[in-house]
Amino acid sequence: MKKRILISQIATLALLIAARPESWKLFWAGLAIIVLGQAVRLAASAAIVKSRTLTTTGPYSAVRNPLYLGTMLMTAGLVTMLSAPSRPLLTAGVWAFAVAAFGWIYYVTIKAEEVFLLETYGKDFKAYMESVPAILPGLRGLAGFFDITAYSREVFIKNKEWRGMSAALALAALVAARIKYGF
């Protein structure tokens, strides 16, 4: 999906506008989930060589879409931060919107990428699809996360993951300010 980032930003803005965060406990729990998601994204962005090879090492040995897994964890962390125990219906609506919007965005994106990868890598990608789950990591592949030979500093720098990390920090700061000042 070519407009995935723009649509994700609009959905995130809608979540920020609709939600009424109020809980520091949920803020810290959400921040921990965001940090986990960002760690997954950092690992994936240091392993993937985009448009040059079929990456199947590092986090890609556990899950075919670790960048999207990381993003989904970060989204769950943000929505946890935005949850309001005193407003259960609003919180349920925020969660439902996040699941529907981001579920749709990444379902469409993953399906389109699979078509491209099948056309590009053929039976190699087909075998990879059959042996590695799309989103939820397989236990036997988790060791790949710890294979340091799968990672490259140069690849990490080229993939510019710092932009996502900066955005996550800005969102966390905004939610913290909303909790502190009640807006």
Cα gap 171→81, rounded to integer Å = 10
Structure tokens at 48: 């993937």
Structure tokens at 97: 């919107």
Query: Per residue in 53-107, pLDDT tens?
Result: 899 999 999 999 999 999 999 999 999 999 999 999 999 999 999 999 999 999 9
The answer to whether the beta carbons of residues 34 and 172 sit under 8 Å apart is yes
The answer to whether the beta carbons of residues 130 and 44 sit under 8 Å apart is no
Enter the DSSP assignment of 84. Answer: -
Tell me the three state secondary structure of residue 135: coil
pLDDT band of 1, cuts 50, 70, 90: low
* The CATH number of domain 4-177 is 1.20.120: yes
The residue written with tokens 């890609």 in the block is: 60
Query: Per residue in 6-35, pLDDT tens?
Result: 999 999 999 999 999 999 999 999 999 999
CB atoms within 10 A of CB 154: 9
DSSP H helical ranges for the chain: 4-18, 24-47, 66-82, 88-131, 153-159, 162-181
Q: Which of 120, 110, 122, 34 is nearest to 79 (CA)?
A: 34
Structure tokens at 175: 């939610």
Task: Give me the residue spans of the domains in the chain.
Answer: 4-177
Q: What is the mean pLDDT of the chain?
A: 94
